[in-house]
Amino acid sequence: MNSITRPAHERELWGHPVGLYVLFFTEMWERFSYYGMRALFTLFLVAETTSSNAGFGWTNGEALALYGWYTMLVYVSSIPGGWIADRLLGQKKTVMLGGALLCIGHAILALNSEMTFYIGCFFIILGVGCLKPNISSMVGGLYKPKDERRDLGFYVFYMGINIGGFLAPIVCGYVGENISWHYGFGLAAIGMFLGQIVYVWGQKYLKNVGNLISNKSAEGKELLERKLSPIEKDRVKVLLLSFLLIILFWAAFEQAGGLMNLYAEQKTDRNFFDLFVIPASVFQSVNSFFIVTLATAVGAFWLKWGKKGKESSSIFKMAVGMVIMALGFGFMAAASAEYDSNGSSAMYWLILAYLFHTVGELCASPVSLSFITKLAPLKYASIIMGLYWAATGFGNKIAGLIGEAAQDMGEFEIFAGIAVVWSIIGFIVIAMLKPLKRLTHGAEDMDVTSTIES
Ligand code: GLN
């Protein structure tokens, strides 16, 4: 049967199920709304109440504290989001619910009051929790267990995330900073609305994916009652350590939307050859820009590296990613030193920092999720996926706390401190590689799908 005469959910485009592109555009717009709003978040909170584009007039510390809580809860809400999908609605309907909550939440932020700001954030937290973890799992569900196209599917999906993450801070950031914060938030709402339209329209391509599965089957029961084997117990130990690495990674990385965003606004000379001033929020798109442009090169590097027979376990890549990301903070320390002596610092420090952060992300982030799925005992599969997102959330909370600490300790000290401490953490993990790999009992060498579906 050729692709056109097949039922919609079996149709393919450019070698992948059409459903992949539905999920791609839905997530692209969801991330557009998330990163568009996030780019404005702290800048809006600290903007003077008397300015023509008024904010709440908060201190940096107060803004970073709320930023930490908000970005933590956005990801921790993946746990109830995953539970709703597993037990009540299935992933597909939970994503739909999440999309609706996000449209409402972002639209509420377009209104101008402190109360509506909190209510809008609350809806967004619930919405991301329902949408983000479940749409990612649905990508895996588009492919049969042994389908080799799965990794490429995730790669395409990740590009969608970052196209949204690239465009949003430019569009929402420009409008938000230069015209009205609330118009910027409103644009994020329009983006999410477009995503929801794509998702509703694309349901016919997603017939076989993300449906509620009854887990009362005999196989399921047997699985849950069985005790963990010693090998599985060892793997859980490595798993816990990798969660710690994930928390630490994002705790440093996620300075981006908080402390580094405020740094761009308050201390960076953003004058572009005397032609115009670049809005601070635009720097929030640099990470996604580098992801889209460098992902293939970093992937190809690791492939070549592995083919030469060199160390290429996931833990190694996570540790290397940690060190490279940490080095990026060296540039931020240099920027702070320049600010302390000149009263402003150059834009290229921020760009260099984001470049290193992105290369670190490209080494660590794609492997960490698949590593976790390989190590997780089947009976904990859903819980572990929820914990993975929650770990990202805790990282975001710590990021907020570190940002707050910088208000008293000074930015140079914090940026230099992250560069040093996080590099040391990466090197310690590299030094402990052998025993850690032993505890995985070859989980990386076997077929991913024999444990759980990503
Ligand atoms: N940029 C990626 C996304 O939005 C990763 C975010 C994260 O895990 N903190 O999906």
User: What does the alpha-carbon distance between residue 448 and residue 265 come to, in Å, rounded to a whole number?
Assistant: 44
pLDDT score of 217: 54
Beta bridge partners of 272: 276
Best residue among 31, 67, 72, 74 to mutate for probing ligand 1's pocket (most ligand atoms within 8 Å of CB) is 31
Please give the chain's pLDDT, 454 residues, in tens.
Answer: 555 677 887 888 898 899 999 999 999 999 999 999 999 999 999 999 999 999 999 999 999 999 999 999 999 999 999 899 988 999 999 999 999 999 999 999 999 899 999 999 999 999 999 999 999 889 988 988 777 888 788 889 999 999 999 999 999 999 999 999 999 999 999 999 999 999 999 999 999 888 987 655 555 555 576 777 888 888 888 888 889 999 999 999 999 999 999 999 999 999 999 899 999 999 999 999 999 999 999 999 998 999 998 988 888 999 999 999 999 999 999 999 999 999 999 999 999 999 999 999 999 988 887 777 777 776 677 778 888 899 999 999 999 999 999 999 999 999 999 999 999 999 999 999 888 888 878 777 654 433 333 3
Contact 395, 250 (CB under 8 A): yes
Tell me if 237 sits within 8 A of 376, measured CB to CB.
Answer: no
Structure confidence at residue 12 (pLDDT):
84
- Cα angle for residues 215, 98, 113 (degrees, 5° grid): 145
Q: Report whether 232 contacts 377 (CB < 8 A).
A: yes
3-state SS of 29-56 is HHHHHHHHHHHHHHHHHHCCCCCCCCCC
pTM: 0.89
Centre of ligand 1 to C-alpha 344, Å, is 30
Ligand 1 pocket by C-beta < 6 Å: which residues? 31, 161, 165, 250, 392
* CA 42 to centroid of ligand 1, rounded, Å: 18
Gap between the Cα atoms of 372 and 452, Å rounded: 10
HSE-up (13 A, CA, CB side) for residue 40:
36
- Do the beta carbons of residue 403 and residue 281 sit within 8 Å? no
238 CB-near residues (< 8 Å, 6+ apart): 315, 375, 436, 439, 440
Amino acid in position 281: S
Look up residue 74 and give its DSSP letter. Answer: H
Residues 6+ apart with CB under 8 A from 319: 245, 426, 427, 429, 430, 433
The token pair at 379 is 């009976």
**HEC secondary structure over 120-150:** HHHHHHHHHHHHHHHHHHHHHHCCCCCCCCH
Output the CA 77–ligand 1 centroid distance in Å.
14
CA distance between the termini of the chain: 29
Residue 411 Cα to ligand 1 midpoint, Å, equals: 25
Residue 448: how many other CB atoms lie within 10 Å: 19
Which pLDDT value is given to residue 219?
53
**Measured distance CA(418)–CA(401) in Å, rounded:** 13
Write the single-letter amino acid at 142.
L
Residue 77 phi/psi, 5-degree rounding, is -65, -5
Residues 397, 380, 237: CA angle, nearest 5 degrees: 70
pLDDT at position 223, please? 55
Which residues are 12's β-sheet partners? 17
The residue whose CA has the least distance to atom 6 of ligand 1 is: 392
Helix, strand, coil share of the chain (percent; to 5): 80, 0, 20
Nearest CA among 74, 177, 179 for reference residue 123: 74
Check if the beta carbon of residue 22 is closer than 8 Å to that of residue 138. Answer: no
* CA–CA separation, 37 and 118 (whole Å): 13
Task: Report the nearest-CA residue for atom 7 of ligand 1.
Answer: 392
Contact in structure between 111 and 56 (CB atoms under 8 Å): no
User: What token pair was written down for 230?
Assistant: 């010693």
The preferred substitution site among 37, 161, 288 for testing ligand 1, maximizing ligand atoms within 8 Å of CB, is 161
